[in-house]
Amino acid sequence: MPTTPYLSLSEAGTGRPVLILHGGGGPATVAGLAAHLARTAHILTPTHPGWDGTHRPDWLTGIDDLALAYLHRLHDLRLRDVLVIGSSLGGWIAAEMSVRDTAGIITGLVLIDAVGVRVETEPITDFFALDARGVAEYAWHDSARYYRDPAAMSADQLAIQQGNMATMRVLAGEPYMHDPKLLRRLQRVDLPALLLWGESDRIVTPAYGAVYAAAFANGRLEVIPEAGHLPQLEQPEATFALIDAYLRSQ
């Protein structure tokens, strides 16, 4: 019987299992990617506990807890040869999963503008200190297009956004958006890791991404022009093409 009932997974498609982990913006930020990959793969798309009004168990207080919970769920489902794709915070979860996967369930890794490591020369922007305008300017290449005016949002939308931010503070607020030990541990991960980065990302820069990729035993960085922190939304065709090519190479 599954031991992780608090994890809600949506499934679509058939083929190789692909777990897609969203970032702080919630599951909508990876919905298009999931729909694209569902044409050729078995897609699992969770909503992290505490996001979009879902329940977060009291003991789930760190990204390491979430990484282990997802590994346990994959084990419960008896899945093998799993590709894990993570965006932003989801990329951090994916990286933590890879260093804990002693059973060899995961055979591929794609991190999209992931946080999670500390790079001395490229500090992670303090997302919690930004207002809505600042978020748009730091996270998007085309900030004018993607800026969301809080005054134009409904009370329900604001409540969900505030709840998501509160959960993110619990899981990733201290130390801020990273695991001090993760960068060193990644050298033991020898599965092929593709890191995709928006050229205009100012939350975590491409230079940060280059250090992240180099930490893996078999990591590679691809920079996507005219994209920020969520290239799967700003440049979906370029992002999907790189992931498709990665899948074919495996």
Q: Which residue stretches of the chain have pLDDT < 70?
A: 1-3, 5
Residue 242's domain comprises 8-249
State residue 10's pLDDT score.
Answer: 92
223 within some domain: yes
Phi, psi (5° rounding) for residue 108?
Answer: -155, 155
Confidence (pLDDT) at 136:
95
Strand bridging mode 193-198 / 106-112: parallel
What whole-number distance in Å separates Cα of residue 81 and Cα of residue 199?
A: 31
Q: How many whole angstroms from its chain centre is CA 137?
A: 20
What is the model's pLDDT at position 100?
A: 98
Encoded tokens for 219: 């990591």
pLDDT tens digits, 19-40: 999 999 999 999 999 999 999 9
- The domain total for the chain is 1
According to the model, what pLDDT value does residue 3 have? 58
Asked if residue 1 belongs to a domain, the reply is no
132-146 per-position pLDDT tens digit: 999 999 999 999 999
Domain presence at residue 3: no
pTM score, whole prediction: 0.96
pLDDT at 23: 97
Question: Residue 99 domain-assigned?
Answer: yes
Is 221 within the bounds of a domain? Answer: yes
How open is the CA angle 181-110-49, to the nearest 5 degrees? 70
Domain containing residue 171: CATH number: 3.40.50.1820
CB 226 within 8 Å of CB 200: yes
pLDDT of residue 60: 96
Within 10 A of 224 (CB to CB), how many other CB atoms are there? 24
Residue 2 pLDDT = 47
DSSP state of 181: T
pLDDT of residue 250: 84
Measure the CA–CA gap between 58 and 75, rounded to whole angstroms: 23
